[in-house]
Structure 1
Amino acid sequence: MMKLLVIVVSLFFRFAASQHCPLPTIAEIETVLPPLLIISDGDQSYSPNVTEGSVQYVCLAQGDTINTYEAIALIANFTRNPGESERTRILDMECSSGTWTGRTGSLDPPPASVVGVPPRTNCYRCREGFGGDTRCRECDSACNTGLERCTGSGSGDCCLVFLPNGDCSDDCSSSGVGYVASEDTDYKCICNLTCALGHSPNSNCTECIFNDICDISNPCLNGGECTSFSGMNNYTCNCTGTGYQGINCSDIMYSTSSIQGMPQPSSVTLTRP
């Protein structure tokens, strides 16, 4: 019972701490349209229907956790009421306490410069008409070195990486100077060192070190002792005392009268091409 209570309390505080929204559903977009239509087209009853697959995001202002947003701008095709002709409009939406609302005065035909282009994510606000046709208030230069995402109402609140629990962190500096985060890595800090063939980053991502085949694959079997030398794929296996022989100490040694007295190798050197 106590464990269940702890889980419930934890989930409550997690929800309370993050009130930004995931991308809206079609139904949520249809909900915010009527008030915007009343302002732009006149006071009457509207029952809009958004065309499935027509939504294109123009601006995504990052929320305080991964895959959440505090504001967005999008283009959508919709009919104002059943039976009416379809129209294409760009609109701005804000997330407040976990709920999407439409921004007044944001229902316009989309400018050609934003149609069919990737969404802007280096925004701390999405605002109609800001910066020409970009509809994006850019993060400041401090946010232009990582994921180009920022949070909050100020342009300097950068979010360059997300922690495993989804919360936003400032950057990857706590992991080390060689670490970066990107959308390709699911916003997680990874070592970004580029190493020559046969080498890999060390555990601190500060330098490239030689890949010792004995440490990587331990090719010597049955307790054989591995020693690497002169190149990443060169090694010897010392089979002494193991009861085995061969390149990798994989062949059992038989003690019979027929082979007694014959020299048996206890150490063999292999050089891989």
Structure 2
Amino acid sequence: MLAMMKEAVLVSVLCVLSLSVAQGCPLPTIAEIEAALLPLLFFSDDSQEYSPNVAEGSVQYVCLAQGSMIDTYNGVSLIATFTPNPEHPKTIRIFDMECNSGTWSGRTGSLDPPPASVVGAPARTNCYRCREGFGGDTRCRECNSACNSGLMRCTGSNSTDCCLSFAANGQCVSTTNCTSSSGPNYVATEINNFTCTCNLTCSAGYTVNSDCTGCDFTSICDKDTPCMNGGQCIQYSPPDNYTCNCTGTGYEEELNCTDLILSPSPSPSLVLSSPPAPLPSPLFGASSPPSPSPSPICTVRYCDSCQNSSCCKTCSSGSYLNPDGCTCGKVEKAAQI
């Protein structure tokens, strides 16, 4: 019965491996590594069933075979620390995994103690296949020599399978010139890991458009800094719509923080809504006008309330300015004694 189970698992694995590689896979998760280990342990020792548990942080990649997209791979060789069963001690093994139709599976016959030469060594990435028997201890079947520039990766064994950079959409590209794959303003360099990146820069107030072909106006606050004297520019939509927050600057908000706020004259404790009664003059037959009522702060913010006059009207002699800043009141003479 056990032999039949082993044969069924072998047929299943071979069927999976016989499928053409449709796409690469992201690096395997711990759960996917444990699932790949299960049949490998079963084939290495058919005396029992297994439930492997891989220690977090113990996985080291030795070989990475590039997939057709960025951060995807057709195959990997890795070292992992795991317990075959809960009651077993930890063990360290190197083995191969292959991506077929978007799914990871373990390659049978690849489970071995890791060679000392690869423990702690950087992963090989210039490989089109990661498999025991290739490339010595690293298990790396190297790319064609035509791929020895840029990323120096490949998706197959031919000179036309080079992956020298990634286009802006993440696709493998066989050149480091991004113009054809991404656009005229894209570049791929070692600094950006040979990923085609928009290299267009824009002036303040403008941002690069979505296809990296030009600059779009996005903020008058950044472009022109219209708020003066330390005022804060608050941007709205569309880009030329804004207001100024002039709090604490000593300037009015209506004119981009350029209209100085004038402090009012000292005012009496009682503000009258009607003209003050004149005081008798110490001289017979004469009276003197009252002290002028303090004017409100003369600023443009009172303009909306002024009717048929200019803001902060100037009153003629013998009149006083009403508190509204717009109308005048006439000083009445005191009666003679």
**TM-score normalised to the size of structure 1?**
0.59
In the alignment, which residue of structure 1 is the partner of 2:51?
A: 47
Summarize the Cα distance change of 1:190–1:99 in structure 2 as closer, same or farther, 3 Å threshold.
Answer: closer
Say whether 1:118 aligns with 2:122.
Answer: yes
Could you tell me which of 134, 142, 148 is aligned with 2:146? 142
In the alignment, which residue of structure 2 is the partner of 1:202?
A: none
Q: Report matched runs for 1:54-65 at 5 Å.
A: 54-65=58-69
Could you tell me which of 192, 204, 221 is aligned with 1:185? 192
In the alignment, which residue of structure 1 is the partner of 2:89?
A: 85
Amino acid at match of 1:188: T
In the alignment, which residue of structure 1 is the partner of 2:173?
A: 169
Return the offset for 1:148: 1.1
Q: Name the Cα RMSD after superposition.
A: 2.8
Cα deviations across residues 139-174 of structure 1 (Å, max 9, x unaligned)?
Answer: 121111111110135465101111111111111235
Q: Structure 2: any 5+ residue segments left out of the alignment?
A: 1-20, 200-337
**2:96–2:107 CA contact under 8 A, matched in 1:** yes
In the alignment, which residue of structure 2 is the partner of 1:25?
A: 29
Q: C-alpha distance in 2, partners of 1:180/1:165?
A: 13
Identical pairs, percent: 66
Return the offset for 1:83: 1.6
Summarize the Cα distance change of 1:130–1:164 in structure 2 as closer, same or farther, 3 Å threshold.
Answer: same
In the alignment, which residue of structure 2 is the partner of 1:95?
A: 99
Q: C-alpha distance in 2, partners of 1:80/1:155?
A: 41
Q: C-alpha distance in 2, partners of 1:163/1:80?
A: 42
Q: C-alpha distance in 2, partners of 1:155/1:32?
A: 32
Q: C-alpha distance in 2, partners of 1:49/1:131?
A: 29
Structure 1 stretches of at least 4 aligned residues deviating more than 6 Å after TM superposition: none
Return the offset for 1:187: 2.8
Q: Highest Rg: 1 or 2?
A: 2
Cα deviations across residues 55-102 of structure 1 (Å, max 9, x unaligned)?
Answer: 000000000000000000000000100021110000100000110000
Cα deviations across residues 220-267 of structure 1 (Å, max 9, x unaligned)?
Answer: xxxxxxxxxxxxxxxxxxxxxxxxxxxxxxxxxxxxxxxxxxxxxxxx
**SS of residue in 2 equivalent to 1:100:** strand
Amino acid at match of 1:146: G
**TM-score normalised to the size of structure 2?**
0.49
Higher relative contact order (CA 8 A, sep 6+): 1
Q: C-alpha distance in 1, partners of 2:148/2:99?
A: 24
Summarize the Cα distance change of 1:48–1:174 in structure 2 as closer, same or farther, 3 Å threshold.
Answer: closer
Q: How many residues are paired up?
A: 179
Return the offset for 1:189: 3.9
Q: C-alpha distance in 2, partners of 1:181/1:71?
A: 26
**1:26–1:52 CA contact under 8 A, matched in 2:** yes
Say whether 1:129 aligns with 2:128.
Answer: no
Could you tell me which of 75, 80, 100 is aligned with 1:71? 75
